[in-house]
Amino acid sequence: MEKEHVIEFRNVHKAFENFCLTNFSMNIKKGYVTGFIGGNGVGKSTIIKLMMNLLQPDSGEISIFGLGYKEHEKEIKQRIGFVLDDNIFYEELTLTEMKNFVKKAYVHWDEHVFQGYVQEFNLPLKQKIKTFSKGMKMKASLTIALSHHAELIIMDEPTSGLDPIFRRELMEMLHNLIQDGNKTIFFSTHNTTDLMNIADYITFIHNGEHIFTKNFYEIEEQYAVVKGGLELLDRDTEQEFIAIQKSPFGFEALTCNRKRVQDIFEDMVLIEKPTLEDIMYFTKKGLIRHAELNR
C-alpha cells in the first residue's frame, strides 16, 4: 500500500551545545504543499538537514517515502530535489559546468526541463556562478532541484533574496508543479504571505518543538484572535487563551478553541480570523509564560 506520508519523524532527538530537538515527531502528507514556519533559531534548518541526511539524529527514526536512510540513501536522494539556504555550488564553475557535474548523480535528469528553466529564469550558462546575484543563485539552485523529476521538493527559505514579483511567480510555478498529485513540496519561509496562496498545510515549530501541522481549514476553524474589555478577564477566563496581550483599552488574545470562546463570551467580544503571524506571536508568548510559571 502506498504511504500517505512522505516524511515521518518519530521521537527524533538531536542535541547541539545550545539547542535540542527532543522527542520530535511529525508527518508530512504526500501530494500537498506544506509551509514550514517558526522564528529565528527554532530549528527549521536543522530539521531540513535531518530530512536530507546531512545531519543524523542522536536517536529516533526518520523515514522518507517510508524508507530509512541506513538502507535506502541512494534511492531516497534520487527522488528528492532540494534547495538549501547555504550555497551548495562550486562558485568557480559556470552553470553548465555545475549542471554537467550534478546530472551524473541523477538517473532521471531531464536536459529539456533544465534548459526550459534556464530560459524562463534568464540565467547565463557560461558565466561563473560566483558572479551571480543572490537571486540568480537561488534561481540556479531551483533549476537544478527541479530538473530530475523529483517527487519530493524540500527547500530551506527558497524565497529569501528574491524580489516580490519573482517570489509570487515562483509560488505559482510550485503550485502548478504539484497539480498531478504525485509531488510533495515542503519549504521553510519567514514570509507568511508566500504561503497564503500555495500552502495546503502549515507546520509550525518553536524551540525545537512541533507545535502543529494543520491545514488552513483546520487553522481557521480552531484559532481566533479575541478582543474585549479587561472586565471579562479573571483567573478562569484567562485559562481559555494561549496568550493574552493587555492594554488600558482592553485585551487581545489567541484561542485555539474558537467555538468554546464564542459560547463563553457570546457577543461580549470581537472574534477575528488570525494571521499566521498572530498565531506565531501569541504561541511564543504563551510558551514563554508557561515556562516562567513552571520555573
Please report, as ranges, the residues that interact with ligand ATP according to CB under 6 A: 16-19, 38, 40-46
Closest contact distance (angstroms) between CB of 290 and ligand ATP is 20
Rounded least distance, CB 187 to ligand ATP, Å: 12
Q: Which is nearer to ligand ATP, 156 or 252 (CB)?
A: 156
Rg of the chain over all Cα atoms, to the nearest angstrom: 22
Looking at beta carbons only, is 56 or 182 nearer to ligand ATP?
A: 56
Taking the least distance from each CB to ligand ATP, the nearer of 41 and 68 is 41
Task: Give min distance, CB of 185 to ligand ATP, in A.
Answer: 18
Name the amino acid, one letter, at 162.
L
User: Residues 63-95, buried b or exposed e (16+ Cβ, 10 A)?
Assistant: bbbeeebeebeeebbbbbbbbbbeeebeeeebb
Q: Where are the alpha helices (DSSP H) in the chain?
A: 44-51, 69-78, 95-103, 111-120, 134-145, 164-177, 192-196, 216-222, 235-238, 258-265, 276-293
Using the minimum distance from each CB to ligand ATP, give the nearer residue, 85 or 151: 85
Cell of 13: 532527538
Residue 119 corresponds to which amino acid? Q
Least distance to ligand ATP, CB of residue 85, Å: 7
Nearer to ligand ATP, 50 or 142 (CB): 50
For the bound state, the minimum distance from the C-beta of residue 17 to ligand ATP, rounded and expressed in Å, comes to 6
